[in-house]
Amino acid sequence: MDYRKLGRTELNVSALCLGTMTWGEQNTQAEAFAQIEMAKQAGVNFIDTAEMYPVPPKAQTYADTERYIGNWFKASGDRTDWVLASKIGGPGNGIDYIRDGQLKHNRTHIVQALDASLKRLQTDWIDLYQLHWPERSTNFFGQLGYTHKADEDFTPLEETLEALDEQVKAGKIRHIGLSNETPWGTMKFLALAETRGWPRAVSIQNPYNLLNRTFEVGLAEIALREQCGLLAYSPLAFGMLSGKYEGGARPPKGRLSLYSRFSRYFNPQSEAACSRYVALAREHGLDPAQMALAFVTQQPFVTSNIIGATTLEQLQSNLASAELVLSQEVVAGIEAIHKALPNPAP
């Protein structure tokens, strides 16, 4: 397993990060524990969660993922072996059961959210605390167009950063990160941190995969020049790039089969691109999912690739991708497909 610096910090994180958003929905606590153990044995030391997990979010399962992780820490006593990341939610997405649906990134809500996460996780600190998505209206979660709302009321970024600074000084957070953020938002947070002496974002967790390489357009340069690396989520495009949905197949336990809300990667252009990527992998004797994961992991702006699985067999295969180095011929094939069918599912 390769290890990389988390931003400008002293922390080294594994090139693969264990994603957890299915725990409490598609996975039981026992299955979550088995995944943690397998990932740790493979050299993974980085685990990512969020207060709103599992996904799809609903009141009945709210925060169960953090509870599972906290129960693991209590049972195993290995909290110090892990770099733990979690997130505070934002407004929208139909979530009206967390903090009465307000979900502001202001001082009051940051303290409430963080303290609740710490209690569920059964720990005194979170290594990386991230803003799950912007409070302001902007383009994320697949939205490309931007509609400006000049009179929109959202928490000033200054207040958000100052509140996070207070929590860092209190020892509850070691570092902060962004998620589903734009180039403007990322640079604004970084500039404010440098001019005011507040915590500097060490990472940005955005989608990145063979069907969605939009991160390369405006954010890759920021990630490299500012040492605010990408924590890539959805590296398999919800499993599309594994080939299991080929030819219209709908495996009964597949996420895209179970939940209609995950339609982002289902369109004719995506399916056509997936067929070509899967064929390319098989032409070179590679597992399609491992090829897709290896491509993400080897990008210079990626700090860690967040892998998720619902079975140990899937997780074992995903973990094995860390040892795969794509040949120049395979990379050239990927680029040819990307040129012909660029970003079919942004």
Which of 176, 174, 198 has its CA nearest to residue 123? 174
Residue with tokens 């969020």: 50
Lookup: tokens for 166: 């207070």
**Beta strand spans in the chain (E):** 3-5, 12-14, 16-19, 46-48, 83-88, 126-131, 173-179, 201-205, 229-232, 302-307
Lookup: tokens for 211: 């069907």
Name beta bridge partners: 84.
Answer: 47
Distances (CA, A) of 334 to 5, 18, 230: 27, 25, 20
Name beta bridge partners: 151.
Answer: none
The verdict on whether 53 is a catalytic residue reads: yes
Pairing relationship of beta strands 126-131 and 173-179 according to DSSP bridges? parallel
CB under 8 A, 24+ apart: contacts of 153-160: 154/104, 155/104, 155/105, 155/106, 157/185, 157/188, 157/189, 157/192, 158/192, 158/196, 159/105, 159/106, 159/107, 160/105, 160/106, 160/110, 160/131, 160/135
Which of 264, 324, 265 has its CA nearest to residue 293? 324
Q: Which candidate in 53, 129, 208, 245 is catalytic?
A: 53
Query: What is the phi/psi pair of residue 272, to 5°?
Result: -65, -45
Pairing relationship of beta strands 83-88 and 3-5 according to DSSP bridges? unpaired
| C-alpha–C-alpha distance, residues 160 and 152, integer Å | 16
Q: Which active-site residues does the annotation give?
A: 53
